Amino acid sequence: MNSLKMPSWITGMGTKALAAPILIIMMLAMMILPLPAFVLDIFFTFNIALAIIVLLTSLYTVKPLDFMVFPTVLLISTMLRLSLNVASTRVVLTEGHTGPDAAGKVIEAFGHFLIGGNYTVGIVVFVILTIINFTVVTKGAGRIAEVGARFALDAMPGKQMAIDADLNAGLIAEQEARRRRTEVAQEAEFYGAMDGASKYVRGDAVAGIIVTIINIIGGLIVGMVQHDLDFATALKNYTLLAIGDGLVAQIPSLIISTAAGVVVSRVASDQDIGGQLIGQLFAKPQVLNITAAIIGGMGLIPGMPHIPFIMLAAILAGGGYLLTKKAQMAAPAAQEAETQTAPAEMEEATWQDILPVDTLGLEVGYRLIPLVDKTQGGELLKRIKGIRKKFAQEVGFLSPPVHIRDNLELRPAVYRITLKGVEVGTGEANTGQYLAIDPGMVSGSLPGVVTTDPAFGLPAVWIDSSMREQAQSMGYTVVDAGTVIATHLNHLITTHAAELLGRHEVQQLLDHLAKDTPKLIEDLVPKLLPISVLQKVLQNLLIEGVHIRDMRTIIETMSEYATHTQDANELTTQVRIALGRAIVQQIFPSGNELTVMTLDNRLERLLMQALQTSGPDGAGIEPGLADTLAMQTEVAAQHQQQMGLTPVLLVPGPLRALLSRFLRRTLPQLKVLSHAELPETKTIRVTSLVGGQL
């Protein structure tokens, strides 16, 4: 005998995938097909169990997005209750004349046990539950969801910019950045869906009242006209059945509405609702002791019920006592008095007293020590590791480690970044607060300490943590104190990359490359060039922001031209031409059109003449011409930036190095390219002409 096999379209689907279609079919069946009382009992019990599961799940979620399917559950549970109302109405009207158990044991239990068989009491209880559900719980949850959706949408640009800032600072990887961007979008969609789904619950409350009234009126008509019942009997039977049916639907509705309020009203935390309640409401023994004294005093007032008040006061006082003892046991033991020892005899000075200067250093005031202390979390330590890793991946070599130490001479919240013992950057970071940075498109001002972003000089303000969401919704980029320091450090490391590439780093880079291509390295260093020339070429590239990740192309190009010249500047020019595609890609990441500035023909001829008379350093450029060149280039660069374009100056090859060195001090953001560095596949669009007013 052949065994029965499931169809392939069913076996191809998982069990979870069949749950939703089965539930929809079940609801349609309840609306269309007559159901016996026993089946109704099962469905009513399932409805109550589903409501309890939803409430408990909402209590144990840490973030609203952990229960992202809740709006759909809200809709399905509402439709399930309405389907049950239709099915139970059919049974109540057709079988209600037989007695209070006509629609099943669940409705009978709610009609007798909960309201004592008194339909007047039942009507009052049902109306109260409906009012609570409709006007309090559902309305409040809907309002919170509406405001949450608006704030989430307003805060999206600020959150996206904060994610981009963390990514650029090397604090997170690209995969983590994508996950956070998706989470931000899902949060806005979740609150919007909750705002819409709450309308279904309000409609369900109204439908419950209407269905109950229809059941009572319809039952009276059916009982008295079709089954010849007297008015009192018909009123009692059908009212109890209608009220029992309404309570069976309204109680799960109230539970799920409460769950909706819990989900949308909670504040983001790493604890569930139970942990927050216990940890925040009953954490202070002073509060419990004062409450116990007040409740105990009320219990001593004549005419008050003494036992409940005094019993509760005793419980609160006991809880406060236990919390006090626990705090005393957890407190560190008193430190013993330090024994005074005789000062050690001064030793002779040795060579060990000469300490090497740290290549990269970070000094912090005492309030910033928790950010760099491993025993206290030290989140900044992890971020610095991420910065070095991201720098190595993007620039092409491993920067020296950052030596961190506390400096009591600094103000408590001040930090200082040093390069070879010399300060290159300083700033202030307030732990426990957030720096709201104005990127230029905020919608208002914030109360706080006005300052500037230490990394890029943008206007900013230090705000309390409670104003973080508001600041993000207004368009500010909001970062914590650790991110401020990490971003500043990352900016300075990138800016001073050429100074960080010492002889030791170059040798490590060559040793790393020699593992894969040993012959390529041996043919260049030291056969053709000393390592100092290679270091100078790499530093020239880094000074102008060119990454040195493609070391194979750099080594091959220098090997080709090293037999003709050992001048670092000439070799740098040839390497830049070989790296032209990568340089252009770094400046123009997308598109085939390059928007650039160029020199006027007359100015170009004057500069070529000055180059021939003064040499490659350009020291012989006439001062008036130099001032005019600097001024007009600055105006053209500002015009480019206002158009949202990167300022790029395209010049002939012999002038590129001269103009790059000359304009670097006044216009550090300007990129100077030569015609030979541009790939043939790119098209050029000139937007500004420098020197046209000479």
> Interior CA angle at 651 toward 645 and 657, to 5°?
105
**Which CATH number covers residue 612?**
3.40.50.12790
Q: Which of 221, 248, 277 is the last residue of a domain?
A: 277
Q: What is the pLDDT of residues 167-216, one digit of tens each?
A: 776 667 778 888 888 887 777 777 777 777 667 767 777 777 787 788 77
Against a cut of 0.75, is the pTM above it? no
Instruction: Tell me: do 400 and 444 sit in the same domain.
Output: yes
Statement: residue 335 has pLDDT above 70: no
Task: Give the separation between CA 428 and CA 461, rounded to whole angstroms.
Answer: 12
Q: What is the pLDDT of residues 618-634, one digit of tens each?
A: 555 788 888 888 899 99
Boundaries of domain holding 81: 19-277
Tell me the pairing of strands 648-651 and 683-690.
unpaired
**Which CATH number covers residue 375?**
3.40.30.60
Instruction: Tell me: do 202 and 300 sit in the same domain.
Output: no
The residue with greater pLDDT, 280 or 224, is 224
The residue with greater pLDDT, 556 or 278, is 556
Q: Is 140 inside any structural domain?
A: yes
Tokens of 639: 């015009």
Instruction: Tell me: do 270 and 121 sit in the same domain.
Output: yes
Q: Is 123:242 a contact under the CB 8 Å cutoff? A: no
Statement: residue 273 has pLDDT above 70: no
Q: Is 201 inside any structural domain?
A: yes
The residue with greater pLDDT, 97 or 558, is 558
Statement: residue 340 has pLDDT above 80: no
The residue with greater pLDDT, 316 or 7, is 316
H or E element, residue 403: strand 402-406
Tokens of 151: 């704030």
Q: How far is CA 176 from CA 159, 161, 179, 181, in A?
A: 14, 14, 5, 9
Q: How many residues does the chain have?
A: 694
Q: Is 3 inside any structural domain?
A: no
Instruction: Tell me: do 131 and 238 sit in the same domain.
Output: yes
Instruction: Tell me: do 402 and 303 sit in the same domain.
Output: no
Amino acid at 619: A
Tell me the pairing of strands 433-437 and 648-651.
unpaired
Instruction: Tell me: do 618 and 689 sit in the same domain.
Output: yes
Q: What is the pLDDT of residues 415-466, one digit of tens each?
A: 999 999 999 999 999 988 999 999 888 888 999 999 999 998 999 999 998 8
pLDDT at res. 272:
60
Q: Which of 578, 601, 628 is the last residue of a domain?
A: 578
Instruction: Tell me: do 76 and 224 sit in the same domain.
Output: yes
633 phi and psi, to 5 degrees?
A: -65, -40
Share of the chain above pLDDT 90, in %: 29
Q: Is 349 inside any structural domain?
A: no
Q: Is 331 inside any structural domain?
A: no
Instruction: Tell me: do 151 and 266 sit in the same domain.
Output: yes
The DSSP annotation for 95-132 comes to HGGG-TTTT-HHHHHIIIIITTT-HHHHHHHHHHHHHI
Least confident window among 34-38, 98-102, 425-429? 98-102
Q: Is 641 inside any structural domain?
A: yes
Q: What is the pLDDT of residues 482-536, one digit of tens each?
A: 999 999 999 999 999 999 999 999 999 999 999 988 888 888 888 889 999 999 9
pLDDT at res. 336:
46
Long-range CB contacts (< 8 A, 24+ apart) of 553-558? 553/578, 553/579, 554/578, 554/579, 555/513, 555/517, 555/520, 555/521, 555/524, 556/520, 558/524, 558/528, 558/529, 558/534
The residue with greater pLDDT, 582 or 590, is 582
Q: Maximum distance among all alpha carbons in the chain?
A: 123
Instruction: Tell me: do 141 and 203 sit in the same domain.
Output: yes
Q: Is 6 inside any structural domain?
A: no
Q: Is 586 inside any structural domain?
A: no
Region of residue 104 (phi > 0: left; psi between -120 and 50: alpha; otherwise: beta): left
Closest-CA residue to 253 (of 200, 215, 191): 200
Q: Mean pLDDT, to the nearest integer, of 270-282?
A: 63
Q: How far is CA 338 from CA 166, 332, 344, in A?
A: 45, 17, 16
Task: Give the separation between CA 269 and CA 465, rounded to whole angstroms.
Answer: 13
For the chain, the domain total comes to 5
Least confident window among 171-175, 252-256, 293-297, 410-414? 171-175
Instruction: Tell me: do 452 and 569 sit in the same domain.
Output: no
Task: Give the separation between CA 418 and CA 359, rounded to whole angstroms.
Answer: 8
Q: Which of 440, 465, 496 is the last residue of a domain?
A: 496
State the pLDDT confidence band at 113, using cuts at 50, 70 and 90: low
Task: Give the separation between CA 399 and CA 60, rounded to whole angstroms.
Answer: 45
Q: What is the pLDDT of residues 480-489, one digit of tens each?
A: 999 999 999 9
The residue with greater pLDDT, 16 or 57, is 57
Instruction: Tell me: do 289 and 269 sit in the same domain.
Output: no
Task: Give the separation between CA 289 and CA 285, rounded to whole angstroms.
Answer: 6
Instruction: Tell me: do 53 and 31 sit in the same domain.
Output: yes
H or E element, residue 673: strand 671-674
